[in-house]
Amino acid sequence: MSTMLQVTGLSHRYGTGEHAHVAVNDLTFTVETGELSCIVGPSGCGKSTLLRCISGLITPTGGEVSLHGDRVTGVPEDLAVVFQDYSRSLFPWLTVRQNVEFPLRWKKSRAERRERSEEALEWVSLPGVGGKYPWQLSGGMQQRVSIARALARRPALLLMDEPFASVDAQTRFELEDLLRSVQLQHGSTILLVTHDIDESVYLGDRVLVLSKSPARIVADLPVDLPAERHQITTRESANFVSLRAEVARLLQGGTPAEPAAGVVSEKPS
Q: How many residues bind another protein (CB under 8 A)?
A: 24
- Within 8 A by CB and 6+ apart from 173, the residues are 231
CA distances 47 to 37, 151, 159, 258, 267, Å, are 13, 22, 12, 27, 23
For residue 37, what are the β-bridge partners?
A: 191, 206
Q: Could you tell me the smallest distance in angstroms from the CB atom of residue 45 to another protein?
A: 20
Q: Identify the residue among 73, 91, 112, 253 touching another protein (CB under 8 A).
A: 91
Choice between 88 and 267, CB closer to another protein: 88
Asked if 131 is part of the footprint of another protein (rule: CB under 8 A), the reply reads: no
Asked if 77 is part of the footprint of another protein (rule: CB under 8 A), the reply reads: yes
Q: Identify the residue among 40, 79, 148, 201 touching another protein (CB under 8 A).
A: 79
Asked if 202 is part of the footprint of another protein (rule: CB under 8 A), the reply reads: no
CA distances 71 to 17, 36, 68, 168, 218, Å, are 28, 21, 8, 38, 25
- Within 8 A by CB and 6+ apart from 29, the residues are 7, 208, 217, 220
Sign of CA dihedral 132, 138, 84, 176: negative
Q: Could you tell me the smallest distance in angstroms from the CB atom of residue 32 to another protein?
A: 22
Sole window of 100-108, 176-184, 212-220, 249-257 interacting with another protein (rule: CB under 8 A): 100-108
Q: Identify the residue among 6, 32, 57, 196 touching another protein (CB under 8 A).
A: 57
- The C-alpha angle with vertex 173 and arms to 115 and 6, in degrees rounded to 5, equals 70
Q: Identify the residue among 1, 15, 111, 135 touching another protein (CB under 8 A).
A: 135
CA distance 178 to 87: 19
Q: Could you tell me the smallest distance in angstroms from the CB atom of residue 156 to another protein?
A: 14
Asked if 83 is part of the footprint of another protein (rule: CB under 8 A), the reply reads: yes
CA distance 176 to 179: 5
Asked if 14 is part of the footprint of another protein (rule: CB under 8 A), the reply reads: no
Asked if 198 is part of the footprint of another protein (rule: CB under 8 A), the reply reads: no
Per-residue burial over 145-168, b = 16 or more CB atoms within 10 Å of its CB, e = otherwise: bbbbbbbbbebbbbbbbbbbebbe
Asked if 164 is part of the footprint of another protein (rule: CB under 8 A), the reply reads: no
CA distances 240 to 49, 85, 226, Å, are 28, 28, 10
Asked if 109 is part of the footprint of another protein (rule: CB under 8 A), the reply reads: no
Q: Could you tell me the smallest distance in angstroms from the CB atom of residue 252 to another protein?
A: 31
Q: Identify the residue among 41, 103, 163, 204 touching another protein (CB under 8 A).
A: 103
Binding site for another protein (CB under 8 A): 52, 55, 57, 75, 77, 79-81, 83, 85, 88-89, 91-95, 102-103, 105-106, 133, 135, 153
